Amino acid sequence: MTLARALCPAGLLAAAYAALASAGSAGAAPSARPASTAVGVGEREFRISVYRPVVAPGPLRLNVTNRGEDVHDLVVLDGRGRQLATSGEIGAGARATIRVTLRRAGTYRLLCTRDDHAARGMRAQLRVRPSRRPAR
């Protein structure tokens, strides 16, 4: 018997054990951080475009792209006007990511606070609605 034939069954057993062990542990421990919902946001003079304007409550990742020529920022305000998150300055052609958790249903405002940009139209809304699951 050759060495290759003798090792083949042992190799198969080891591979099968590794596959079963990784499959069993994949769902065993919950992740430390819940998955966030990605929301694309485009800014340019003088408007903000939200590519997913309605989301479920939970963690969000606002992926902001400045498609304009001026420096912009993005601020997230709740229904009472309280600032929940901000991007800082985003240069022309640059990108930024804002991580924010919106737990309550409602309408949140997105705006650029640079100079008079919001007054000139750089504002948008993001609505949070509980997800509707079919009854069982």
pLDDT digits (tens), the chain, 136 positions: 454 444 455 554 455 455 445 444 444 455 566 799 999 999 999 999 999 999 999 999 999 999 999 999 999 999 999 999 999 999 999 999 999 999 999 999 999 999 999 999 999 999 999 877 655 5
Domain that holds residue 99: 37-128
> Parallel, antiparallel, or unpaired: how do β-strands 58-66 and 95-102 relate?
antiparallel
Here the CATH number for the domain that contains residue 69 is 2.60.40.420
The Cα 14–Cα 21 span in angstroms is 11
Give the separation between CA 59 and CA 54, rounded to whole angstroms: 13
Here the tokens at position 82 are 């309280």
CB contact at 8 A, 108 and 128: yes
Does 7 reside within a domain?
no
